[in-house]
Amino acid sequence: MGAQEQNSICGLGEDDPLRVLLEGTATVTGERFFEALVENLSSALNTKCAWITEYLEDVRRLRALAFWVDGQLVPDFKVDIEDTPCEAVIDKAQLVHYPDNIRDLFPSTLKLNELGAVSYMGVPLMDLNGTILGHLAVIDSRPMPEDPKSVALFQIFAVRAAAELQRIRAESEVKDREEKHSRLVDSAMDAIIELDKDLNIVMLNPAAQTVFNFRLDEHVNSSFLQFLSTESHQKITELTQELNERPEGSKYLWIPGGLRARVSDGDEFTAEATLSQFELRRRTFYTLILRNVNERIEAERKIRSLREEAAYLKEEIKAMDDFEEIIGQSREIKQVLHDINQVADTDRLAS
């Protein structure tokens, strides 16, 4: 089908405002969409200015996402809405049109004087709940008679702009959550391993790379089962099958008896562990969280040893006939007693 036939079907001439806006914004998204929109809106409606904003409700201010004036973008533009034509757009949540004498109607708005403004039309940007997100407006240095086609066009692209603004905000929120999640996982003391449905390694946090003594890039997409004992290999395979049969909201479990894990050099350690399942883009993944029990057992052994030593030394001191005199005469004994008291305090806190 040729270009002329397409134009004929659409019924849009080359200078038709709708065609100008469609062609000017069809292939862009994000901030570039807003810039393209105000540029092409100003061209389509033949106005001096066009701008799109987001509304900062707590300070009752509009911040321009893009502001087109006399053929160029004006960066970092903000305006308080009090006593401006934009105030009615935001507060009444409806299209506002001042076809002439705009400066006489709003004499305190200095920006209108600077722009040589005569007429104004603005429409709110709203989400599905009716919350005001911002507004879309045009300003001209000539009268702007009422034109139903221009109004309809204006409203159509206000809806499109609102949708794009919501998409950008949602994308930003997702990115923020991902960054927070990443920081949380990276800072965790426990080893966290993400596995695919075949139990191949997808992700390791820094703690897991330390525990297993290898980097993610060395074993990504390789089977995690190679780092488990034969018994634990069978256990985790059976548990993944159990998770598959559990209802949504219950796809997690504590691994009874833990696992026997193997580091890259072959040494084994006992680990407490939890396993959970989730889906992303219709693919199944598992999250395995491990804690090296050997380290805890060793720490408990040291504490127990210190407690026993402290108890023994206390009994020895009690057997001394002239305890106060010894303390007064021996700096070494003072240091020993100081160390004993510290251990005793640790003992009381642990209890």
Query: In the chain, what are the domain boundaries?
Result: 3-175, 188-295, 299-350
Superfamily of domain 188-295: PAS domain (3.30.450.20)
Q: Which two tokens stand for residue 17?
A: 């405002």
The string of pLDDT tens digits covering residues 61-107 is 999 999 999 999 999 999 999 999 999 999 999 999 999 999 999 99
The pLDDT, as a whole number, for residue 238 is 92
The pLDDT, as a whole number, for residue 332 is 62
**Averaged confidence pLDDT in the chain:** 82
The pLDDT, as a whole number, for residue 297 is 63
Instruction: Say how many CA atoms lie within 13 Å of 287 toward its Cβ.
Output: 14
According to DSSP H, which parts of 96-147 are helical?
Answer: 102-105, 110-115
Q: How far is CA 297 from CA 38, 91, 143, 294, in A?
A: 67, 65, 83, 5
Element (H, E) at 67: strand 61-69
The pTM for the full model equals 0.59
Closest CA to 121 of 147, 143, 95, 88: 95
Same fold, 3-175 and 188-295: yes
Share of the chain above pLDDT 90, in %: 38
The pLDDT, as a whole number, for residue 25 is 67
- pLDDT of 141 > 60? The answer is yes
Residue 282: pLDDT band with limits 50, 70, 90: confident
Between CA 92 and CA 87 the distance in angstroms is 8
Between CA 272 and CA 277 the distance in angstroms is 18
- pLDDT of 231 > 60? The answer is yes
The string of pLDDT tens digits covering residues 161-181 is 898 899 888 888 888 888 887
The pLDDT, as a whole number, for residue 3 is 47
Closest CA to 117 of 183, 49, 41: 49
According to DSSP H, which parts of the chain are helical?
Answer: 3-10, 17-25, 31-45, 85-92, 102-105, 110-115, 148-187, 206-212, 216-219, 230-245, 293-318, 323-329, 331-350
Give the residue with greater pLDDT, 302 vs 78: 78
Give the residue with greater pLDDT, 276 vs 349: 276
CA angle 279–280–286, rounded 5-degree value:
50
φ/ψ (deg, to 5) at 182: -65, -45
Please tell me the total number of residues recorded for the chain in this structure: 351
What is the domain class of 3-175 according to CATH? alpha beta
The answer to which of 124-128, 137-141, 342-346 has the lowest mean pLDDT is 342-346
Residue 5: pLDDT band with limits 50, 70, 90: very low
The string of pLDDT tens digits covering residues 38-63 is 998 888 888 999 999 999 999 999 99
